[in-house]
Amino acid sequence: MINITSHFTMEAKENTTFLRSVLATFPTDQLIFVSCLLLCYPLGIFYRYVLNPKRVSSTVRHVVGLFWGIMFGWISFKWQFFIIIGMAFSCYVLISFLNPKFVHRYVFAFSLLVLSVGHLCRQLTDYGSYKMDFTGPLMIIVQRVTYISLSVHDGQGRDEKDLSAEQKKEQLKKVPSLLEYFGYILHYSTLLAGPACTYRKYKDFIDGRHFIEKDSKRKEPSSLVPVIEKSLTSLACLVIYFKFAPSFSPILNTDEEFIATHSFLWRLMFAWFSMVTLRMRYYFAFKGAEAVNNLVGLGFSGYDEKGQPLWNGMLHANILKVEFPLNMKMIFDNWNISTGSWLRRCVYDRVTKHRTLAVFALSAAWHGFYGGYYLTFTSAQLCLEAARAFRRSWREKFQKTVILSRVYDVITCLITAMILGYLTVPFVLLDPWQGLRFWRSMYFFGHIISIMVLLLHRGKGSRNKSKTSDTTTTTQEIMQNGLIKSSAREENNGLIIGQDATCPH
């Protein structure tokens, strides 16, 4: 009996020591983020069931969501939070008083200017840091203020006949009140880690219409199962990160001794797994944020064919499709999903000329100005075009039997995963010279293979366009997602958020 008691006592001490060692690795800013994220769970239950739109007015729900958003913002960013409030209020003034025909242009320009100054200040004063600051949530808030400005522009500055079905649904015939506006901008469930949604979706959530519009006869659906699933996924990703991060630091990819003592194949595998490990901390924040939003009632998207409720309306990423992609497009479609939707709705669907260039410019300004970002941006486009050319020429040949099809899928999955690791290392390292050093150590194999594929398949694509959805991929998809994104900085911030999916800030 004494031995058993002693065993459990020692085990408890070991667990306590492990917990302390984990907490010791968390900087204060990231501990604050995690604490706020955990606090969102009891607040979410209270908000969903006690402050249900059937019980209280929309005003109460706005006020409570805004109050806790301000509290989280102040706790996390102190005086920097006033920059966020100042930018948001200035945009509200522009939206309220400028001509609706042009207001979206001014809001875009002003919000991106403030964000760009924030990026530059951080880059100059804290180069290469993963520390959380106001620019993380500011990236998401830029999306929200531009969403509102475009909805006002569509509702008051354009003819109804010129609007798409989606734009008609999202248009605003009047400017939201100051409370409604700030409730949307600073709601606690989306402030720290996003994702961003349109104002119409937020307003329907506040008023309780999001359930009624999907099916007015049904009882309000429970989000318990998706909340548990996403929370457990978030926790699992955090455990994986702490387990492997010390052994797979991205900086080793450019270490001279590491390069000299390891083979090309091993270094390629290391680059891939170091990027997978790094993404785990973003998945922790992503899935935690998705769970929090589902808990308060955000993200309900209707019912499946079996009548089961779907809660995929506030997604950051589909992890399995990013980590086990069959092609490049699958990665772009399933990473940083809400930012991709923002770029499509706000730029790609509205610009008549040079769409991809406009998306590139906006995405670049939104992310910041580290050279590593641009190495990844431009190289990803090259690799994507090569992948599309190869797919058009060869995929159909492997569809004759099930076995051949599976072989093709396995091979393309492995190649795509390796290329993903190759492309994203410079994005994470930030410094362009470090990124080029890594690519040089890998003999620029990704670039060389891509160029060779394009040269060998030149002209074939125009004669034989694949009917698969992969052919619809554009630079927009690259910029909108990816590897290419920093996360979630988007919608995210540091920690475990670094600031975007693959990058610090």
Name the residues annotated as catalytic: 336, 367
Give first-to-last CA distance, the chain, whole Å: 54
- In angstroms, the CA 422 to CA 261 distance is 19
CA-to-CA dists, residue 325 to 264, 272, 332, 407, angstroms: 23, 13, 10, 14
Enumerate long-range contacts of 348-352, CB under 8 Å, 24 or more apart.
348/474, 348/476, 349/164, 349/166, 350/150
Is 391:330 a contact under the CB 8 Å cutoff?
no
Is 374:382 a contact under the CB 8 Å cutoff?
no
Q: Which two tokens stand for residue 382?
A: 């090259």
Q: Is 249 exposed, middle or buried (0-12, 13-18, 19+ CB in 10 A)?
A: middle
How long is the chain? 505
Q: Is 158 exposed, middle or buried (0-12, 13-18, 19+ CB in 10 A)?
A: middle
Residue 401 φ/ψ, nearest 5 degrees: -135, 160
Q: Is 257 exposed, middle or buried (0-12, 13-18, 19+ CB in 10 A)?
A: exposed
CB-based contacts of 321: which residues, under 8 Å, 6+ apart? Answer: 330, 331, 333, 334
Nearest 5°: the CA angle 100, 102, 108 is 110
Distance of CA 125 to the CA centre of its chain: 25
CB-based contacts of 97: which residues, under 8 Å, 6+ apart? Answer: none
- In angstroms, the CA 337 to CA 317 distance is 6
Place of tokens 């109460």: 60
Residue 352 φ/ψ, nearest 5 degrees: -90, -25
3-state secondary structure of 485: coil
3-state secondary structure of 486: strand
Q: Could you count the other beta carbons within 10 Å of the beta carbon of residue 200?
A: 17
Q: Could you count the other beta carbons within 10 Å of the beta carbon of residue 504?
A: 25
Q: Residue 156: what residue type? A: Q
- In angstroms, the CA 205 to CA 52 distance is 10
Q: Residue 153: what residue type? A: H
